[in-house]
Amino acid sequence: MTDRVLSDSQWAHIAAEIVAAVGIAPHGDPDAVRWVAVRHADDHIHIVATLVRQDGETAWAWNERLKAQTAARDLEQRYGLYQVGPVDHTSHRRPTAAEQNKSRWQGKAEIPRDRLRREVRAAAAAATDENDFVNRLQAAGLLVRLRHSTINPDEVTGYAVGLPDHHTNAGDTVWYGGGRLAPDLTLPRLRQRWTTGPCATPPEGTQRLGRPGVRHRTNAFRRATASATSSAHYFEAANPASGEHDIASLAEAAADLLASTARAFEGRKSGPLTEASETFDRAAREPHQRRLRHLHPEAGHLRAMSRLIAAMGRLTSNDDTAAALQLVLRMSMIADNLAEFREAQNSLHQAKAARLAAARLRMIASNTAADPLAPRSAAAPAPVVFERDHTQGHVL
């Protein structure tokens, strides 16, 4: 969306409101710090200020980021500009400049943090419980370290993951706790997925499968599409005032199903569907990280389908690919419905992510239907190492 072009006087007013809101140059204070606003483009300005007031005192700004953002939201409304939305606490942590430079220097195609987040999310979507989750991480070649309670050593309170070839300069493993990868990947949040409601029950018949064939995969995706269709009706009829917990549980379960579907399409290598899945996952995260009081029954069915799809393995033919694409198309409709729900909540960051995910999913479904994805062999897992708290390492 493109905003109208503001005049110099309007930008001057905006700048004055920002520095006043932050507290370094209150309105009517002749001794406030000196500042200047520079405009060299139509859509933004730069504000530079000293930190010493005219009376010689130092201006110590407190909580200035939140104050500036609050003022910006108010100015967006007053000037009729695009509403960015309140502070978002659901986005995952982006790789730091140091991480990006290190990966570039080492010639790595992917930053470790991004790879770990993708692997952890795929394992969480396919796992039935905590032990299964750890086993899947290890099978994917990740190092796993459990954090134990200082009061009860037998109680596991968290986890961290690392890569065998990612070390500090001292040679220690670089560890990433679940919460450092994404807000919804902490162990307490994952436990809630696995232990609450019908989603804790493994899909019937999954454990008896040897090497699933095309027919098994095709039927699995058809079952998943039917479950997604049923869930879509709940999204359409949901009331933002009373249905927050139902929609939150459905959205998280749908994100798991899409993550397993992306893994069936693209394996461990990130691709368009994996990226769309990560965007949908952003839309599914609760803005305030509330603990859900209950799960919608349909969420259990979606999670069961997620684990069933994960058990089916990679797509190998046009038949199972066609069935999977029907599910992708259905998921785009769920993303549209989720976007409307988020907009009604005024969760603008999540709404934008849902709209983007819906568009990407529709594009993938339409483009791939004419040219099905060629199956690719999955990468062999790296050696498994299991470590506990006393192991030396660097946790980010």
Which pLDDT tens digit goes with each residue over 284-328?
988 655 566 667 888 889 999 999 999 999 998 899 999 999 999
Rounded (5°) CA angle 259-265-270: 65
Task: Report percent pLDDT > 90 for the chain.
Answer: 51
The domain segmentation of the chain, as residue ranges, is 8-78, 98-396
pLDDT at 368 over 70: no
Give one DSSP letter per residue of 163-217, joined into a string. Answer: -TT-B-TTS-EEEEEHHHH-GGGSHHHHHHHHHSGGGGSPPTTGGG-SS--HHHH
Please report how many Cα atoms fall inside a 13 Å half-sphere around the Cα of residue 7, on the Cβ side: 3
Which pLDDT tens digit goes with each residue over 16-26?
999 999 999 99
User: Which range has the worst mean pLDDT, 64-68, 272-276, 302-306, 351-355?
Assistant: 64-68
Per-residue confidence (pLDDT) for residue 22, from 0 to 100: 93
Chain centre distance of CA 317: 30
How far is the C-alpha of 184 from the C-alpha of 286, rounded, in Å? 9
Per-residue confidence (pLDDT) for residue 143, from 0 to 100: 96
Averaged pLDDT, 102-128:
87
Averaged pLDDT, 254-277:
93
Which pLDDT tens digit goes with each residue over 320-361?
999 999 999 999 999 999 999 998 888 888 999 999 999 999
Task: Report percent pLDDT > 70 for the chain.
Answer: 82
